[in-house]
A and B are shown apart, each in its own frame.
Chain A
Amino acid sequence: MTNSGAGTSPRRVLALGATSAIAEATLRLLAEQGANFVLVARSEPKLAAVRDDLLTRGATAAIGYVSDLNETESHAAMLAEATAALGGLDLALVAHGIQGDQAEAEREYAVAEAILRTNFLSAVSLIGWLANYFEAQRRGTIAVISSVAGDRGRKSNYVYGASKGGLNVFLDGVRNRVDRAGVNVLTIKPGFVATPMTAHLSRNALFAAPGQVARGIARAIEKRKDVVYVPGFWRWIMLIVRMIPEPVFKKMNL
């Protein structure tokens, strides 16, 4: 294999938060190409269902690893074990996250902290380790599911938005660092996706199916993109949202 690897489907894949609906749909596409997986999630029965499905669809192998990713102190050992099991890594997909309750987070710092811990701090720990690993390996892709919500703070979910916005900036920096080692860092920004995270919302026309989003992610991984909006039209929506002048924006109900 060469350094660039563009156009080839990743073979050795580590999925963190593998039971996320978006992650699962993406992993199915890779399984059909015969990928080899280490899957990390915190729920044993869900992990077993995802693993069985990927194996049935054509994965060469799939090892499940049960871990609460908020426990940053166990990350290093877990990641070392996972990469050793795969004998190297072509792709790490970081997908776990929580929506959290904005209203509660406004009342109670602990709730806001929990959102930041899962969506931002645990990711900083995982991606920090992975960046060092990939930099030494001098190839591979770190793909991270962020959100359009990180593009601009809105009153309805700015704690979640801040966790993703922080993540975006962190990823920009990592990319700037590891690009010269031939490592690709992909920031994935989904719009509304019909998954358990949004099961409490009424599903309007803006909602995409996880399978549709997954195809966009797989394409972006293959093309070694830096940032991808999925579905693509969110790029234009967010461009407009970001362009609204703050004096106007602060009066809006979003």
Chain B
Amino acid sequence: MGKAKPRPGFESWGRYPKLQADVVPLHWTTDFPLAKAPAARQLPVGLGRSYGDVCLLENGTLLATPEMDRLLHFNEATGVLRCEAGASLKEILDFAMPRGFFLPVTPGTKYVTVGGAIANDIHGKNHHVAGTFGRHVLRFELARSDGSRVVCSPVENPEWFAATIGGMGLTGLMTWAEIRLRPIVSRLIDYRGVKFHGLAEFLDLSRTAASEYTVSWIDCLSTGKNFARGIFMQGDHAEIPGPLRRSREPKLTFPFDLPQLALNRYSVATFNAFYYHRQRGNEKTGPVDYEPFFYPLDAVLKWNRMYGKAGLLQFQCVLPREQDEHGVVEVLKAITASGLASFLAVIKVFGDVPSPGMMSFPAPGITLALDFPIRREASFDLLERLARITLEHGGRMYPAKDARMTPEQFQAFYPQWQEFARYVDPGFDSAFWQRVTGRRPLDD
């Protein structure tokens, strides 16, 4: 075991921007504040599954939390789990599934930490009934860089509770949290997939579907009669007792960075046609395992390499319901017109369960999430156009999936940002926060 070498950097899932930082693993909740106080600003990070720069800090100290993964207490009667903030949703599923419990809310990957899930107040396919992840958080401990620690809940330090949920890691380090899991009797999901043609059909399906989970894949390349075609997917936990075993570990890792050219409008159009027609009839129903239902992409580790070294950009917005159709049509048209390929395009209607965080992203309306390979000007121009459309239609964008919002846009999306700023730990900062408060320019 040799000498200390400079630490490797930390990348977000989009691998853009690329910023050098010092990464210090926290193994114990007592490792913070660091024994040797860092000269630069700090930021807690989880598994780096945010796409943009909320989990980055140039020349700063990133406090890596995934080794803080202990499960501290579980009450089988109430489903309340207390765990350290670095525990991942994958570890929680491995633990909970054989005991007949499931996550209250899950994103499209299980490789995120509890701390990251709270700090971005993430949402899942059950947003319309369950609200955000933060709604299922009972309490957590918040450690500040001055060495103080407070327990936060809706009744203890409620203002810190609200500022930290969706607080993008800026209010301090969460050391542990208590979340409420939901009981299930089987791994299986009763699934139904229905094809739709156009937004009106999509909205109809969303209005009438009574399922706990709903989400749709939408084709963003086709025009004409295929414009806005897609598959509406819905599911419910099976009610017939079934298998509750733990999942197998994924065997596949995307082996290398694909060259830039590989993802273009032709390969993506082919993929889209394949995906759309893979489901034969108009409708498909039956039981499916929860893994492919919730985490289709987790089967291949490091799949972001598919986008090459340059990485990818995500765009996710929510547009309020009154104006939704027009806004969504404009967004889709802008994308089709740009010819930039996005094959992981997802659309969903959010419910009106209020989000508990001061800065939470979800709000009632339609949400659209898309990713694009980075082709400098072209993708940046498109994102700028999409941000403008979002603003015009009274919507907002999701910080966890953003690397390009301007300060003006962010401050219009989140007018409460100045109030939030009062809760930011003076020792903490992030590349995102620097950017949207006008302290870090966008590189072009």
Which positions 53-67 of chain A face chain B at CB distance < 8 Å? Answer: 53, 56-57
Known: A45-B30, A46-B30, A196-B27. A56 touches B73 (CB 8 A): yes
- Say yes or no: A49 contacts B67, CB within 8 Å: no
- Whether A53 lies near B70 (C-beta < 8 A) is yes
Inter-chain contact A52/B73, CB cutoff 8 Å: yes
The answer, among B25, B27, B72, for a CB contact under 8 Å with A56, is B72
State whether A198 and B72 are in contact (beta carbons under 8 Å apart), knowing that A45-B30, A49-B29, A57-B95 are contacts in the complex. Answer: no
Best-surrounded residue of B1, B3, B72 (most CB of chain A within 10 A): B1
Q: Which residues of B are found within 8 Å of A52, using beta-carbon distances? A: 70-73
Which B residues are in CB contact (< 8 Å) with A149? 1
Report yes or no: B2 in contact with A156, Cβ–Cβ below 8 A.
Answer: yes
Chain A 130-166 against B: per-residue CB contact (8 Å), 1 yes, 0 no?
0000000000000000000100000011001000000
Q: How far is the CB of A26 from chain B (nearest CB, A)?
A: 15
Using a Cβ cutoff of 8 Å, how many contacts connect chains A and B? 53
Kindly state whether residue A200 has any CB partner on chain B within 8 Å: yes
A203 interface residue, CB < 8 Å from B?
Answer: yes
CB-defined interface of B89-108 with A at 8 Å, one 1/0 digit per residue? Answer: 00000010000000000000
Q: When the two chains form the complex, which single residue of A21, A49, A57, A200 contacts B4, counting CB atoms closer than 8 Å?
A: A200
- Is B5 engaged at the interface, CB distance under 8 Å to the other chain? yes
Task: Report if B28 contacts A (CB, 8 A).
Answer: yes
Given the complex, which residues of A lie within 8 Å of B30, measured CB to CB?
A: 45-46
Q: Summarize B's interface: helix, strand, loop or mixed.
A: loop
Q: Name A157's contact: one of B1, B8, B25, B67 (CB within 8 Å).
A: B1
Nearest B residue to A19, CB-CB: B28
Contacts A201-B5, A202-B5 given; indicate if A45 touches B70 (C-beta within 8 A).
no
Q: Does B417 interact with chain A (Cβ within 8 Å)?
A: no
* Identity of the chain B residue whose Cβ is nearest the Cβ of A191 in the assembled complex: B1
The answer to whether B71 and A53 have CB atoms under 8 Å apart is yes
- Contact between chains at A99 and B29 (CB < 8 Å): no
B32 CB to nearest A CB, Å? 13
B412 vs chain A, min Cβ distance (A): 41
Do A21 and B67 touch across chains, with their CB atoms under 8 A apart? Answer: yes
Closest Cβ of chain A to B397, distance in Å, is: 34
- CB-CB < 8 A to B25: which residues of A? 196, 199
Is B74 an interface position by the 8 A CB rule? yes
Q: Answer whether residue B207 sits at the interface, using C-beta atoms and an 8 A cutoff.
A: no
User: Of all chain B residues, which has the CB nearest A147?
Assistant: B1
Flag whether A23 is at the interface (Cβ < 8 A).
no
The CA-CA distance from A202 to B2 in the complex, in Å, is: 10
Q: Which of B1-41 contact A (CB under 8 A)?
A: 1-8, 24-25, 27-30
Contact of A49 with B27 in the complex, beta carbons under 8 Å: no
Bound-complex Cα distance A196 to B25 (A): 8
How far is the CB of A16 from the nearest CB of chain B, in Å?
A: 19
Interface residue from A45, A53, A57, A203 paired with B8 (Cβ < 8 Å): A203
Q: With A21-B67, A156-B2, A157-B1 in contact, do A202 and B7 touch (Cβ < 8 Å)?
A: yes
- In the complex formed, the residue of A with least CB distance to B68 is A49
Closest beta carbon of chain B to A137's beta carbon, Å: 32
Is B8 within 8 A of A202, CB to CB?
Answer: yes
- Which residues in window 198-236 of A have CB below 8 A to B? 198-203
Kindly provide the distance from the CB of B375 to the nearest chain A CB, expressed in whole angstroms: 31
- Contact flags (1/0) for A100-141 with B, using CB distance below 8 Å? 000000000000000000000000000000000000000000
Question: A95 on the interface (CB 8 Å rule)?
Answer: no
- When the two chains form the complex, which single residue of A196, A198, A202 contacts B6, counting CB atoms closer than 8 Å? A202
Most A CB contacts (10 A, CB to CB) among B7, B70, B74 go to B70
Q: Is A201's CB under 8 angstroms from B1's CB? A: yes
- Give me 19 other A-B pairs in contact (C-beta within 8 A), A49-B84, A53-B71, A201-B1 excluded: A21-B27, A45-B30, A46-B28, A46-B30, A49-B70, A50-B70, A52-B70, A53-B72, A57-B71, A57-B95, A149-B1, A156-B1, A195-B27, A196-B25, A199-B24, A201-B4, A202-B4, A202-B5, A202-B8
Listed in ascending order, the chain B residues whose CB lies under 8 Å from chain A are: 1-8, 24-25, 27-30, 67, 70-74, 84, 95
Closest 7 CB pairs of A and B: A53-B70, A202-B5, A56-B71, A52-B72, A200-B4, A196-B27, A56-B74
Show the binding face of A for B, using Cβ within 8 Å.
21, 45-46, 49-50, 52-53, 56-57, 99, 149, 156-157, 160, 192, 195-196, 198-203
A-B contact pairs, 8 of them (CB 8 A): A49-B70, A49-B72, A53-B70, A53-B72, A56-B70, A56-B73, A196-B25, A202-B4
